[in-house]
Chains A and B, each alone.
Chain A
Amino acid sequence: MSSSAPIRYEQAMDRYRLSGSANWKCDEGVALNPTAKVGAPPWRFQHFAGLALFVASSLSSCVDPWVHVQQQCAQVTTMVAAFRPYRRRRISALEARAMALGILHRAEEGRERLAQKEAERGINWEEMS
């Protein structure tokens, strides 16, 4: 993953939310519920859902000079800030699979909801015919 836009890391969690270069908008309707059962995915053209492993690089391969400068400036003012400690929660393979499929279904449901909302606006083409 690469980004040429500034990504602020050194910000106190109790005052700011870390933000990337864009307005991060998570998939709609995401709610962490690792114990939820996942129903069969809707069939469209007989496709199937699968899980895949990806190697994700968390940052660009080269250092953004802007980020480097920001971090130097931020160090003095944010070293004493209270950071929310991150903890990775260990989960089973089955839980991971359920979570991943839940993400997929919620993303698709989010798109359907948006399409429905947009359809409720605008011209009714049936009435015009």
Chain B
Amino acid sequence: MIYDYPVLNAPIRQGDVFVGLPRVEVSLRSIQVLEKDGQIAECEWREIAQDREEITAIFPLRSVTAIVATQDCDASRARDITLCEIRSFRDVDRKSQNTTSAKSWKNIITQHARINQKWFYLPPDDQIGFHNKMAVDFMVTLRVPRDELEELRDLRKGRLNEVADEHFRERIAEFFRRYPYDEWYPLNSEELQAYTSEYPGTQAFHWQETEADS
């Protein structure tokens, strides 16, 4: 499909898919700290930040599949590599949970992909181990040391081919270039009314109020 299968000693690149990397979860409300006497204590992160000390703590982690997001130039020399988690497409985009028809999938993969910038579609591939449709979730990132990831290149099961890699690069860049805006700003009074009926509490812009008055 859209994947290449690099040799074991190939350098790590953006678009490389690794199976079995740690995703750590952190709660700022509850940190489990290993004290100097070997005891464990729970505290909030703000206390640690205020104390300005190095601490050893316990964090939960899960082994996940992930794709290298770090650009190639950094992936070859930076201390850390950033990856985004890959999960089942139906989990990342819940709208597709009951999707079955090819036409619907076509709509989602092509058109919806242009609208929703938060994920990147990955088709199934037996060699990588994707038995279902998958998606890169841009919202969930991992960070691992580059040199240690290089030692674990046997966990790399494939990478995006040239076409997919270029698309991935542009899509992830778009994701981080998003900015919040009130989507109803260009609606006329009739359209705004329809919008407000679905999203009550919408505050019209002054030019929309002016149009309504006139």
The residues of A with any CB-CB pair to B shorter than 8 Å are 7, 9, 18, 20, 24, 26-27, 30, 32, 34, 41, 44-45, 47-59, 86-93, 95-97, 99-101, 103-104, 107, 111-112, 115-116, 118-119, 122-126, 128-129
Contacts and interface: CB of A to CB of B under 8 A. Distances in A.
A123 B115 CA distance: 10
Interface string B98-122: 1101011001100010011000000
Interface string B3-23: 000000000000000011010
10 contacts: A45-B129, A47-B20, A49-B61, A50-B61, A51-B59, A86-B44, A96-B42, A100-B59, A111-B139, A115-B92
A99 B32 contact: yes
Interface string B133-163: 0000101100000000000000000000000
Nearest to A46: B63
Contacts of B43: 86-89
Given A32-B29, A90-B41, 13 more contacts: A27-B26, A48-B62, A50-B60, A52-B24, A52-B58, A56-B54, A57-B54, A88-B43, A96-B32, A103-B59, A104-B60, A123-B112, A123-B115
Chain A's interface: helix, strand, loop or mixed, by majority? Answer: mixed
A24 B42 contact: no
A112 B65 CA distance: 17
B93 A119 contact: yes
B92 A89 contact: no
B27 interface: yes
Nearest to A96: B32
A52 B29 contact: no
A58 B54 CA distance: 6
B179 to A, nearest CB: 15
Contacts of B177: none
A107 B49 CA distance: 22
Contact of A125 (B41, B46, B96): B96
Contacts of A56: 48, 54-57
Given A57-B54, A58-B55, A129-B104, A100 B40 contact: no
Nearest to B27: A103
B47 interface: yes
B28 A24 contact: yes
Contact of B27 (A26, A86, A93): A26
